[in-house]
Amino acid sequence: MGVKTVQAYRFALDLTPAQQRQMLAHAGAARKAHNWALARVKAVMDQRAAERSYGLAGDVLTPALGWSLPALRKAWNVEKTMIAPWWAEVSKEAFNTGLDALARGLKNWSESHSGKRKGRKVGFPRFKSRHRTTPSIRFTTGTIRVEPDRMHVTLPRLGRLKLHESARKLARRLEAGTARIMSATVRRDGGRWHVSFTVEIERATPAARPESVVGVDVGIKHLAVLSTGELVPNPKHLDAAQQRLWALGRALSRKQGPDRRVGRKPSNRWKCASARLGRAHARVANLRRDGLHKLTTRLAVEHATVVVEDLNVAGMFRNRRLARRIADAGFGEIRRQLAYKTEWNGGRLIVADRWYPSSKTCSGCGAVKTKLALRERTYDCTECGLSLDRDLNAARNLAALAAEVSTAGSGPVAGRGAIQKTLLAGREAVKRQPGVASASQTGTAQPQGRAAA
């Protein structure tokens, strides 16, 4: 008996001009339903606030409008003939897409301000613009299938759509009965339309493997340094494309763009130049995504235990000298992909505490340095005389941390010496503190964002 999990399959589409217009019509319907429902919610909230200011309360207030998807859908169905007389020309899933996005946004805003949602505060939903919103439609009901030739898919009201690439990987699972399509999302990204299938897959139970532990230290000079001694080069896709991006940006600046202050519309030349710039950025993103997926898949398949650090990536972006290169490397994406891929392959992911001094600790004797400047690329231990690359030293310390883990828990592993301030004992290096912390095994974070976005 296998293990069921949720996975996304994403394919590029080759659409005819008529099909592209139909896609944009569905995206416009989703935007129409979202904006109407948001205006209705805001009007009811403002009316109830005004009535309370007059001293009214209880049942005399204007009835509240529910924020759930069923409540918003019910209100839309009552007035859709007046709001959108053309509603029968598009699929009902288009309106459901806009209403579902609003329901999720209102829920996130409410939970964020009530303290139920952790992280940064979520703002109140805003109206969607035709010019700044990414066209997207999500289908959950109706005919959603991959055709037998594996080069076409069929979606409700859109009919038969040609794929740019073969869908054989998904088709094989569907034919074997080990996969079930739950939803399909059509989205325009980088000037090209894509379809993403959210699929429930029954994966075979991974076979037992010999214990293989690898520590992964991510960086800018090398994308990843493994405890095995392997150095994964950083392709720096953004730097490689920077000259072309600058040239396209300058060409765009010479065209007559939109100006909302005077109501000026962009010229056709500006639209073409903007599309070229968007495609160039999309190419960089695709290259980065492809490289990260290949790296994380290899690590999850070849090793039973992967140890990484809990990096404060958002804080790293405050360094204006390194922010662009840190974003180009994709530190957070590496950890996110390892989280679910290690579980798919029967392994585990251990996350070291953010304050664990992996770079300052000697992998030979365990001595901890008080300070280690970023410019010092070689770790020289004053206790045992060990001298090696600082990133390789950190990766070995991360791999050694797995031996201290005995039980599976939640949250980052503190590890030995994981203190926010490195203790100073005169001028001597500080030995690592004894003691073992709890283990960390990430949950079932599935890559559904690509399909549900």
pLDDT in tens, 403-446: 877 444 445 665 555 444 443 333 333 333 333 333 334 444 44
**pLDDT of residue 231 exceeding 50:** yes
DSSP-assigned letters across all residues of 28-63? HHHHHHHHHHHHHHHHHHHHHHHHHHTT--GGGSPP
Residue 435 token pair = 């003691």
Could you tell me the pLDDT band of residue 58, with boundaries at 50, 70 and 90?
confident
For residue 102, the surrounding DSSP H or E stretch is helix 92-114
Query: d(Cα 316, Cα 60) in Å, to the nearest integer?
Result: 52
Could you tell me the pLDDT band of residue 345, with boundaries at 50, 70 and 90?
confident
Average pLDDT over residues 86-101: 95
Average pLDDT over residues 272-283: 94
Could you tell me the pLDDT band of residue 374, with boundaries at 50, 70 and 90?
confident
Q: Which residues are catalytic?
A: 217, 309, 391
**In 3-state terms, what secondary structure has residue 256?**
coil
The pair phi, psi for residue 118, each rounded to 5°, is: -85, 165
Provide the residue ranges of all domains of the chain, joining segments of one domain with +: 3-18+135-203, 22-114, 213-234+283-452
**pLDDT of residue 343 exceeding 80:** yes
pLDDT at 32: 96
pLDDT at 436: 34
Could you tell me the pLDDT band of residue 324, with boundaries at 50, 70 and 90?
very high
Is the distance from CB of 216 to CB of 226 less than 8 angstroms?
yes
Q: Give the residue with greater pLDDT, 196 vs 382.
A: 196
Query: d(Cα 24, Cα 319) in Å, to the nearest integer?
Result: 40
pLDDT at 120: 86
Longest dimension (CA), the chain: 80
> What average pLDDT does the structure give for the chain?
86
Residue 433 token pair = 């503190």
For residue 107, the surrounding DSSP H or E stretch is helix 92-114
pLDDT at 416: 52
Query: d(Cα 335, Cα 133) in Å, to the nearest integer?
Result: 29
**pLDDT of residue 114 exceeding 70:** yes
Place of tokens 């500080």: 430
Q: Give the residue with greater pLDDT, 146 vs 368.
A: 146
Return the amino acid letter for 85.
P
Whole-model pTM? 0.81
